């Protein structure tokens, strides 16, 4: 099953890319290795509520790297095309790892249980059995 494209609903501030930046980008694509990003190969989509207004939610495309059984690192975008905007970084930790965090740090974390168990966090393109 092919993944459908979800374009960004936001246009970043600033002017378009000029000739110099376009040439720089093309040269980088040919000559540079993006190895660290290649391992961010787990793709899931969920909705993130605003902290102070849970009624306001935004679609968040997570491109994740499974570090180990206790830690997943994710880069979040507002779409899944080349024009998508970076909207955040997220670390998903196990209950065991969460329990080792200092109490003052725990307030910066939120559980993913509801997102996963409710079906709000999905893996597009995967059969239901694999998801």
Average pLDDT over residues 31-52: 82
In a domain, 100, yes or no: yes
pTM: 0.74
Q: In sequence order, what are the beta bridge partners of 72?
A: 66, 92
- Note whether residue 23 is domain-resident: no
Share of the chain above pLDDT 70, in %: 94
**Over residues 24-53, mean pLDDT:** 80
Rounded Cα gap, residues 122 and 78, in angstroms: 15
Could you tell me the pLDDT band of residue 131, with boundaries at 50, 70 and 90?
low
Residue of higher predicted confidence among 131 and 45 = 45
The number of domains in the chain is 1
Is 73 domain-assigned? yes
Residue 56 · residue 21 · CB < 8 Å: no
Residue 98 lies in a domain: yes
Within 10 A of 83 (CB to CB), how many other CB atoms are there? 12
Evaluate whether residue 122 is within a structural domain. no
* Structural domain span for residue 78: 36-117
Residue 1 lies in a domain: no
């Amino acid at each position: 099953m092919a993944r459908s494209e979800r374009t960004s609903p936001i246009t970043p501030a600033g002017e378009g890319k000029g000739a110099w930046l376009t040439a720089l980008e093309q040269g980088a694509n040919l000559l540079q290795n993006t190895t660290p990003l290649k391992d961010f190969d787990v793709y899931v989509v969920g909705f993130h509520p605003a902290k102070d207004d849970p009624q306001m939610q935004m679609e968040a495309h997570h491109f994740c790297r499974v570090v180990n059984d206790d830690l997943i690192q994710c880069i979040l975008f507002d779409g899944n095309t080349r024009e998508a905007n970076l909207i955040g970084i997220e670390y998903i930790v196990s209950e065991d790892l969460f329990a080792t965090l200092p109490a003052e740090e725990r307030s910066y974390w939120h559980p993913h249980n509801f997102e996963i168990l409710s079906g709000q966090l999905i893996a597009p393109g995967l059969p239901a059995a694999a998801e």
